[in-house]
Structures are given as structure tokens and as C-alpha cells.
């Protein structure tokens, strides 16, 4: 490979060839000296790998255009290519709900959503829910009912909970429990979550 630079590093008594850059996708950003590289990698101008696709979407009300590895998930787009780490990874296989975001207003599991699929669509994450300094009524209800402990599942819970109310599913405790069952909470905050949805439903439905 042409653009590969090697050097030998001595660490922990082991000598190894360190490949600082390899392959076409990685080359440009990596070949720079360290300090410059850090600058070059400011924000989103980062190396992509694999075959890339261009995605242009609206994320939390802002246009986003980026070239991204076509294998990437929406979750890894948000967390690793944008500063949107509120959305969490709990399983990466659609089995926990921690990664729930809204796609065109509906909750989806971002770990099983190919990033490429958001082209031309609207994504809302937990960071995009509050308006200005005001919390969304559901966020307030989660605080009021202490519907969380470690908070790791919480962004996903809240995104589902909002849809539970806006979709008209907050009709009874059992209906809420069923709708909210796609979000596992290992801390077991389910009782508080039910109460929070009930409280917010009153506010949201006016």
C-alpha cells in the first residue's frame, strides 16, 4: 500500500510494527502529524471506511449532510459521527430499546436502522425534545416521578413514552405498560415510568 507509513514502537517490552494508516478510506486523515491530525479531525471531518453513501437528513431540526460508511447504524451515526450521545447502546440488536429515536415522528430502534435509510427524513433524539430551556412535559414527568435510576435507558424510555401519548396509547395502565415494554430498564424503574406517562398524558393532552 502506497500511503502506508510504518514505524517501530517499543512498549511493554514488545516490538511491533505500528501501521498508522492503511487503506484508502483511512489515509487522508491519518497521515498528518498528530497535532495537525487532531485539528483536521475537528467535529465531523473524520475518516470513513468501507463504501460510503451520502446522507442528507434533518436531525433535531438541523440539516445534516454527511458521507458515511454504508454499514453504519443510525445509532453509530448519532453517537460517533455527531455529538449526540444521549441515545444509548444497550444491545445493538433491537433487543432493549436504549437506542430509541424518532424517525419522521415515530419511535424506531436506531441500532437496527441503517444510517443510510435516514436520507431525506427527520430524526429527533432526546437532545431535540426540549424546546429551549423548557423541558418536554414527559421529561418533567420523569423527574417528578423519579422514573429512572442509573438513567442509561432513560432517553430511550422518554422517546417511547412521548409516542405512547401522542399515538393515543396511554389509555390504561396496562396499555401503557404494554407500549413501554420495548424499553428494558435493568434498574427496574417501571412503576415510575408508568406514573410518568400518566402524568405527562394529562399535560400533553391538555
Partner 1 sequence: MRALSYTVAPSAEAAVARFAAAQGSARYIAGGTNLYDLMKLGIEHPAHLIDVSRIDGMDAIETDGDILRFGGRALMTDVAYTPVVRDQYPVLSESLLKAASQQLRNMATVGGNLLQRTRCMYFRNGAGSTSMVGVYPCNKREPGSGCSAIGGLDRTHAVLGTSEACTAVAPGDWPVALMAMDATIEMLGPEGPRNLPIAEFYRLPGDTPHREFNLHPGELVTAITVRKTPAGRASTYHKIRDRESYAFALASAAVALEMDGATVRTARIALGGVATTPWRSRAAEAIVTGSPLTPELALRAGRAAFADARGGQHNAFKIELGARVIADALIIAAERRA
Partner 2 sequence: MPTQAFSEIARVDARDKVLGRAQYGADVKKPGMLYAMLVPATIAKGKVSALDVAPAMETPGVVQVLGIGDFPALRAEISYRGQPTALVVAETVEAAIEGAEAVTAVYETAPYIPLMTSPGAQRVDAEGFNAGDVDRAFQNAATIVEGIFETPTQHHNAMELFGTVAEWTDGRLTVYEGCQNLDAVKAALMKAFELSLDQIAVKSEQVGGGFGQKSPPKMQTFLVAHAARLIRRPVKLVTPRGQLFHIANYRPRSVHTIRLAASAEGRLQAIIYDVVQENIPDGGFRSTGYHEDIARLYAIENFRATAGDIHIDRQMPRHTRGTHPFPAGFALESVIDEMAYKLGKDPVELRLEHEAKNDIIAGQPLSPHFLNDCLREGASRFGWSRRLPEPGSMRLADGTLVGLGVACGIFGASMSASEATLRVRADGTTRMISSGHEMGQGILTAIANVIIQGLDINPDRLEVLLGDTTLGPQLATVGERGTASCVPTAAKAVEALRARFAELAGANPPAGNLHQQLARLKRPYIEVKVSELAPGQDASAIEAYRTGGRAGTGPDYPGFTSMSYIAQFVEIHIDATTRRIRMPRAVSIADVGRVVSPRTAKSQMYGGVVWGFSTALREESEVDPRFAGYLNDDLADYVMAVNADIGEVDVGLIDKPDPRINSVGVKGMGELVMLGTAPAIANAIYHATGKRLRKLPIRINDVL
Ligand X SMILES: Cc1cc2nc3c(=O)[nH]c(=O)nc-3n(C[C@H](O)[C@H](O)[C@H](O)COP(=O)(O)OP(=O)(O)OC[C@H]3O[C@@H](n4cnc5c(N)ncnc54)[C@H](O)[C@@H]3O)c2cc1C
User: Candidates 134-142, 176-184, 186-194, 197-205 — which segment interacts with partner 1 by CB under 8 A?
Assistant: 176-184
Query: Residue 57 in contact with residue 118, Cβ under 8 Å?
Result: yes
Kindly tell me which residue out of 122, 149, 166, 198 binds partner 2, with binding defined by CB under 8 A: 149
Instruction: Indicate whether 170 belongs to the interface with partner 2 (CB under 8 A).
Output: no
Please pick, from the candidates 111, 141, 158, 194, the single residue that binds ligand FES as defined by CB under 6 A: 111
Name the H helices within the chain: 23-30, 34-40, 74-76, 137-144, 154-166, 173-179, 190-204
Pick the closer one to ligand FES by CB: 29 or 152.
Answer: 152
d(CA 19, CA 79): 26
C-alpha cell at 37: 491530525
* 41 binds partner 2, rule: CB under 8 A: yes
Q: Which is nearer to partner 1, 52 or 140 (CB)?
A: 52
In the complex, least distance from residue 205 CB atom to partner 1, rounded to whole angstroms: 19
- In the complex, what is the shortest distance from the CB of residue 168 to ligand FES, in angstroms, rounded to a whole number? 24
Q: What is the signed CA dihedral for 155, 160, 165, 171, rounded to 10 degrees?
A: -130
Binder of residue 64, out of partner 1, ligand X, partner 2, none (CB less than 5 to 8 A by kind): none
Binding-site member from 4, 25, 152, 175 for ligand FES (CB under 6 A):
152
Alpha-carbon distance values, 74 to 5, 13, 111, 129, 169 (Å): 32, 41, 6, 18, 26
What is the gyration radius of the CA atoms in the chain, in angstroms?
21
Contacts of 178 (CB under 8 A, 6+ apart): none
Nearest Cα to 181, choosing from 91, 102, 96, 106?
Answer: 96
Task: Name which of 97 and 192 has its Cβ closer to partner 1.
Answer: 97
Contact code string over 90-129 relative to ligand X, x by CB under 6 A = ----xx----------------------------------
- State the nearest-atom distance from the C-beta of 35 to partner 2, in Å: 10
Binding of partner 1 by 87 (CB under 8 A): no
Amino acid at each position: 500500500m502506497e500511503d502506508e507509513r510504518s514505524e517501530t514502537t517499543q512498549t511493554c517490552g514488545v516490538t511491533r510494527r505500528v501501521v498508522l494508516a492503511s487503506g484508502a478510506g483511512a489515509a487522508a486523515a491519518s497521515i498528518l502529524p498528530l497535532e495537525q491530525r487532531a485539528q483536521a479531525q475537528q467535529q465531523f471531518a473524520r475518516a470513513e471506511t468501507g463504501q460510503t453513501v451520502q446522507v442528507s437528513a434533518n436531525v433535531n431540526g438541523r440539516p445534516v449532510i454527511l458521507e458515511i460508511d454504508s454499514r453504519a447504524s443510525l445509532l453509530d451515526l448519532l453517537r460517533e459521527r455527531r455529538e449526540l450521545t444521549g441515545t444509548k447502546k444497550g444491545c445493538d440488536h433491537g433487543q432493549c430499546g436504549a437506542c430509541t429515536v424518532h424517525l419522521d415522528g415515530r419511535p424506531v430502534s436506531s441500532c437496527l436502522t441503517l444510517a443510510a435509510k435516514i436520507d431525506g427524513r427527520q430524526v429527533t433524539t432526546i437532545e431535540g425534545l426540549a424546546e429551549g430551556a423548557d423541558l418536554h412535559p414527559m421529561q418533567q414527568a420523569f423527574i417528578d416521578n423519579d422514573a429512572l435510576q442509573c438513567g442509561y435507558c432513560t432517553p430511550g424510555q422518554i422517546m417511547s413514552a412521548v409516542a405512547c401519548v401522542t399515538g393515543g396509547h396511554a389509555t390504561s395502565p396496562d396499555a401503557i405498560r404494554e407500549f413501554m415494554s420495548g424499553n428494558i430498564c435493568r434498574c427496574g424503574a417501571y412503576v415510575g415510568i408508568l406514573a410518568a406517562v400518566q402524568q405527562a398524558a394529562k399535560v400533553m393532552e391538555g
